[in-house]
Amino acid sequence: MSTTQSERLRGLLEPLVSAKDLDLEEIEVSRAGRRRVLRIVVDSDEGVDLDECAELSRSLSEKLDETDAMGDDEYQLEVTSPGAERQLTEHRHYVRAVSRLVRIQPVEGDELVARVLAVDETGLDLQVPGVKGRKPTARRIEFAQIAKARVEIEFNRKDKKEEEA
Q: What pLDDT, on the 0 to 100 scale, is given for residue 158?
A: 59
Q: What pLDDT, on the 0 to 100 scale, is given for residue 160?
A: 52
Q: What pLDDT, on the 0 to 100 scale, is given for residue 165?
A: 44
Does domain 2-80 fall into CATH 3.40.50.2300?
A: no
Residue 164 has pLDDT above 50, yes or no: no
The CA dihedral of 112, 116, 120, 121, to the nearest 10 degrees, is 40
Half-sphere exposure of 111 (CA within 13 A, CB side): 8
Residue 31 contacts by C-beta under 8 Å, 6 or more apart in sequence? 37
Question: Cα separation of 97 and 92, whole Å?
Answer: 9
The CA dihedral of 27, 32, 36, 41, to the nearest 10 degrees, is -20
* pLDDT, tens digit, 9 for 90 and up, residues 121-156: 999 999 998 888 889 999 999 999 999 999 998 887
Question: Cα separation of 9 and 150, whole Å?
Answer: 27
Phi, psi (5° rounding) for residue 80? Answer: -145, 170
Fold held by 87-151: SH3 type barrels. (2.30.30)
What is the identity of the amino acid at 150? R
Say whether 87-151 and 2-80 share the same fold. no
How many CB atoms are closer than 10 A to CB 68?
A: 8
3-state class of 87 per DSSP? strand
**What is the distance of C-alpha 13 from the center of its chain?**
17
In this prediction the pTM is 0.72
How many CB atoms are closer than 10 A to CB 88?
A: 24
Q: Tell me the mean pLDDT in the region 83-91.
A: 84
Domain ranges across the chain:
2-80, 87-151
Q: Is residue 94 a contact partner of residue 86, using CB atoms and an 8 Å limit?
A: no
Q: What pLDDT, on the 0 to 100 scale, is given for residue 86?
A: 80
Q: What pLDDT, on the 0 to 100 scale, is given for residue 39?
A: 92
Question: Cα separation of 90 and 77, whole Å?
Answer: 25
* pLDDT, tens digit, 9 for 90 and up, residues 88-126: 999 999 999 999 999 999 999 999 999 999 999 999 999
